[in-house]
Structure 1
Amino acid sequence: MEITRRLGLSPRERGSLSNATCPDIFELSNGDFAVIGTDMTQTLDGILPADAARADHERIVVVSRETLIAARRDIPEA
């Protein structure tokens, strides 16, 4: 598996000059997506909707609104 491309702007292009906040979204060679964000599993796990679940190996990761909006143009339709 490899990273094939970044979706949206790089953290530096979004104004992160100190690398203190660097959320990012990447498309992988198998078509999946990898996300760099803040691990909020402990905070959000107990308030997930009733029809949502998280496996032990999964984490709830939060990316900023700015990051996702910047990636919108690069997200495939299908």
Structure 2
Amino acid sequence: MSQIIRRLGVAPRFRGSTTGGTCPDIFELANGNFAVIGTDMTDSLEADLPADAARADYERIVVITRETLVRAKADIPDA
């Protein structure tokens, strides 16, 4: 297992989440991968995946807000 080394973007409270009810987030892991906290939308979006996209049984389709990704953009490495 890898460990979280940093958040990308700003904390949810700076995006209007004051109750913990909507806390999408993006984290960089020590192994270079990224972890995402979002809403599991697998059941409603899986049928809409393009023909060349697939998901393994252990994978989920997770949705984050546009603001979460836009605010993280500056922290996402180019390579």
Query: What band does the TM-score fall into relative to the shorter chain?
Result: over 0.9
Which string of whole-angstrom CA distances, capped at 9 and with x for unpartnered residues, describes residues 37-65 of structure 1? 00000000111000000000000000000
Task: Name 2:7's counterpart in structure 1.
Answer: 6
Matched, 1:24 2:30: no
Stretches (4+) displaced over 3 A:
none
Looking at structure 1, the residues matched to 17 and 58 of structure 2 have their Cα atoms a distance apart, in angstroms, of: 29
SS at 1:57 equivalent: coil
Task: Name 1:57's counterpart in structure 2.
Answer: 58
Q: TM-score, normalised by structure 2?
A: 0.97
Q: TM-score, normalised by structure 1?
A: 0.98
Looking at structure 2, the residues matched to 54 and 12 of structure 1 have their Cα atoms a distance apart, in angstroms, of: 31
5+ residue gaps, structure 2: none
More helix as a share of residues: 2
Counting aligned pairs with the same residue, the percent is 68
Looking at structure 1, the residues matched to 23 and 71 of structure 2 have their Cα atoms a distance apart, in angstroms, of: 13
